[in-house]
Amino acid sequence: DARVTQTPRHKVTEMGQEVTMRCQPILGHNTVFWYRQTMMQGLELLAYFRNRAPLDDSGMPKDRFSAEMPDATLATLKIQPSEPRDSAVYFCASGLVLGGRPWDEKLFFGSGTQLSVL
Amino acid sequence: RKEVEQDPGPFNVPEGATVAFNCTYSNSASQSFFWYRQDCRKEPKLLMSVYSSGNEDGRFTAQLNRASQYISLLIRDSKLSDSATYLCVVMNSGGYQKVTFGTGTKLQVIP
């Protein structure tokens, strides 16, 4: 079964440290999303890539967060410096959008990275 | 106003009951609609797409009302295994397909 792979599954770090989360989308998918989920806010979109180009990162705090896709098989989300309020589950999802057609493909989510910033 | 709104619940229903969730969206240009299911501490997974004509998958029925800008999910004959959080997802057209999740409705099916 094709799946989205996220690493690490769990990360505990101290405030001020850099955190890097990685995502391997499903082979052939051309869209990648980063979401953050907390009990209070639900799923918040942080960044959205299509064909490795960032299309929307308006949900991401720019001063400390950055998202990249160095190649089609890897997406990264970095937080530097991390803060306790960044504690959440970070999900990566991938999907396939075919140009000009309404979205009719489902999103596949990774298992998430549980981040705790002390 | 949030782009996608759901009643957070929880909905506590007995086994065998019928339960319905609604989800409202604010962008009238929204194009595609879905229901996702998320189990505790797990990732969301697609439950079903929502088509304009309505669609059914076993005990689950999804409906779209464009005029009132809401979608619904009906679960008949609830099972204990239906206990989860149900997320409404709306995708908008435009320069790119923006994907917005509702905060979810929690369902607890009680024996």
B81 touches B107 (CB < 8 A): no
Residue labelled with tokens 């489902």: A106
Chain B residues inside the 8 Å CB shell of A109? 43-45
pLDDT-derived band at B91, boundaries 50, 70, 90: confident
B45 touches B37 (CB < 8 A): yes
Chain A residues inside the 8 Å CB shell of B103? 41-43
A102: cis peptide before it, omega within 30°?
A: no
d(CA B77, CA A82): 46
Whether residue B88 has pLDDT greater than 80: yes
- Per-residue pLDDT, A74: 97
What is the phi/psi pair of residue A20, to 5°? -125, 125
Whether residue B70 has pLDDT greater than 90: yes
What sign results for the dihedral spanned by CA atoms A53, A57, A63, A67?
negative
* Distance of residue A46 Cα from the nearest chain B Cα, in angstroms: 11
B41 contacts: CB under 8 Å, gap ≥ 6: none
Please count the residue pairs, one from chain A and one from chain B, whose beta carbons lie less than 8 angstroms apart. 54
Once rounded to an integer, what is the mean pLDDT over residues B51-67? 92
Residues of chain A under the 70 pLDDT cut: 99-105
Query: A42, B42: Cβ pair inside 8 Å?
Result: no
What would the two tokens of residue A64 be? 């400390």
- Per-residue pLDDT, A57: 84
* Distance of residue A58 Cα from the nearest chain B Cα, in angstroms: 12
* Distance of residue B74 Cα from the nearest chain A Cα, in angstroms: 20
d(CA A39, CA B58): 30
| From A42, A45, A97, residue closest to B104, measured CB to CB | A42
* Distance of residue B66 Cα from the nearest chain A Cα, in angstroms: 16
Number of C-beta neighbours around residue B38 at 10 A = 22
SS3 content of chain A, % helix, strand, coil (to 5): 5, 55, 45
Once rounded to an integer, what is the mean pLDDT over residues B27-53? 89
CB contacts under 8 A, B 57-96 vs A, are 87, 89, 91, 93, 95-96
Once rounded to an integer, what is the mean pLDDT over residues B4-25? 94
| From A97, A109, A112, residue closest to B97, measured CB to CB | A97
- Per-residue pLDDT, A103: 52
Determine contact: B13 vs chain A, CB below 8 A: no
Whether residue B102 has pLDDT greater than 70: yes
Query: A91, B43: Cβ pair inside 8 Å?
Result: yes
- Per-residue pLDDT, B51: 82
Q: CA nearest A107: which of B104, B40, B99?
A: B99
Query: A43, B44: Cβ pair inside 8 Å?
Result: yes
